[in-house]
Amino acid sequence: MKENKLEKIINLAERRGFVFKSYEVYGGLRGFYDFGHLGVILKNNIKNLWLKDILSMQNIYLIETPIIGPRILYEASGHIENFYDRLVECKSCHNRFREDHLLKGEYGEIKIKDNKALCPLCGGELTEARNFNLMFKTFVGPVEELSTESYLRPETAQGIFINFKNILNSMRAKLPFGIAQIGKSFRNEITPKNFIFRIREFEQMEIEFFVRPEEADKYFEFWVEKRFNWYINFLGIKKENLIKHIQTEEELAHYAKAAVDVYYKFPFGEDEIEGIANRTDYDLKRHMEYSKEDLTYFDEKTKNKIIPYVIEPSAGVERIFFAILCDSYDEDEMPNEKGKLEKRIVLRFKPWLAPIQVAIFPLLSNRENLVKKAKEVYELLKNDFRVYYDESGSIGRRYRRQDEIGTPYCITIDFQTLEDNTVTVRDRDTGNQERINLEEINDYLKDKFKL
């Protein structure tokens, strides 16, 4: 299963409406993906679980800032000067590569000639590496000149830093406190690849956690721990599939003093789904310098003005989404209605994470009384759970369809239901069925969906 697990997951995601390639009718646009019905629900579940965790802390405040920012913002942040990848191009086939990825062998085996790497695709000579800035440029208003030059944000963080004073004053915040934002970011990646892992438009969930400089190391450790636990306890990702990657001096971004990445063991290799960085006072200082605004914090304790340090946990929604798909994808065998073992595909989502939580089936679609009762059950549950009604095909087929999209429970309304008001509840993972009275069904299910 391992060799083509990636293909199987991508295939399932497209076939069942989690993810589609963007602009496919026009031949597609590399690095962009659409999310279908189930995908949008799963994405929202991820974001809500992130919010649930951080908002329970009391000292985290939310913000939403524009995607487009003026040039000066990214001069101040250092992105115009520093946010680039090293790009090489093949002189024969004109394919372009990220030099660091090329040297790591990510595009395939590289041959060396006269001490220089050759094109991994055609063996041609490569150009010297040049800097390629990853930001998308645009202009605000009708005049295209330096003063209207703007950029799509490559991270949501800068909108947070420049709101430091607004949140501080309006929320009467005291250190340590955080400002959090969920939103789209854009990077003109040289080679988008691995399905939705490296894309050009993606969503980030970021927290800038402001602390006293002397407490930065302590809170850095706190956030590394907290974020790892979130993946395990809130998303149910298997601990053994997560890796703590400590960034080396060379890997650190221009603003960071220390960084730990959360790596997930994807079928194509282990790679980053979140980075936790100590950004020091770099960003606030730079924005003070460029904006001439006072972004200091008055410390009541010492009666001094200080510039806080920042600890930043920054996670990508699509990479987490992908990690969840990989972590929950499974193939096993289940007996069909005749008791014969049949292969099936199943997504073992945690119950609270599943896009559809309860599927409701009348045993037979041509029996009016069963259909009527099943629709009543749908009405009974629809406000408390994400439910789905299905009457088409055999019960076995309906189970398989739900297994494939990770629905943890299927309820069947049969002839006994009409007599004693009980239904069967079938568990996705074990295939076991329990008979539950409809008077108790809400409480029974609520218990199953507890985080």
- CB nearer to ligand ATP: give 269 or 335: 269
- CB nearer to ligand ATP: give 207 or 445: 207
Q: What is the pairing mode between strands 242-246 and 201-211?
A: unpaired
Q: Give the span between the Cα atoms of 107 and 135, in whole angstroms.
A: 23
φ, ψ of residue 218 in degrees (nearest 5): -60, -45
Q: Give the span between the Cα atoms of 180 and 190, in whole angstroms.
A: 29
Retrieve residue 201's tokens: 């438009």
- CB 44 to ligand ATP: min, Å: 17
Of the candidates 61, 20, 52, 53, the one whose C-alpha atom is nearest the C-alpha of residue 39 is 20
φ, ψ of residue 269 in degrees (nearest 5): 135, 165
Comparing every residue's Cβ against ligand ATP, the nearest one is 316
φ, ψ of residue 80 in degrees (nearest 5): -65, -40
- CB 151 to ligand ATP: min, Å: 15
- CB 347 to ligand ATP: min, Å: 21
- CB 181 to ligand ATP: min, Å: 13
- CB 177 to ligand ATP: min, Å: 21
- CB nearer to ligand ATP: give 161 or 202: 202
- CB nearer to ligand ATP: give 151 or 399: 151
- CB nearer to ligand ATP: give 274 or 390: 274
Burial 8-34 (b: 16+ CB within 10 A, else e): ebbebbbebebbeebeeeeeeeebebe
Q: What is the pairing mode between strands 409-413 and 358-362?
A: parallel
Which residues of this chain interact with ligand ATP, rule CB under 6 A?
Answer: 187, 189, 198-199, 202, 204, 272-275, 314-316, 318-319
φ, ψ of residue 2 in degrees (nearest 5): -60, -45
Give the contacts of 426 (CB within 8 A, at least 6 positions apart). Answer: 399, 409, 410, 411, 412, 432, 433
- CB nearer to ligand ATP: give 187 or 373: 187
- In angstroms, the first-to-last Cα distance of the chain is 30
- CB nearer to ligand ATP: give 276 or 359: 276
- CB 222 to ligand ATP: min, Å: 19
Of the candidates 309, 73, 312, the one whose C-alpha atom is nearest the C-alpha of residue 205 is 312
- CB nearer to ligand ATP: give 296 or 314: 314
- CB 17 to ligand ATP: min, Å: 21
Q: Give the span between the Cα atoms of 387 and 441, in whole angstroms.
A: 13
- CB nearer to ligand ATP: give 188 or 336: 188
- CB 214 to ligand ATP: min, Å: 25
* 351 secondary structure, DSSP code: T
- CB nearer to ligand ATP: give 250 or 300: 250
- CB 289 to ligand ATP: min, Å: 23
- CB 275 to ligand ATP: min, Å: 3
Strand order in the sheet with 177-186: 60-62, 177-186, 201-211, 309-316, 269-280, 258-266, 242-246
Q: What is the pairing mode between strands 309-316 and 201-211?
A: antiparallel
Are 181 and 65 within 8 A, CB to CB? yes
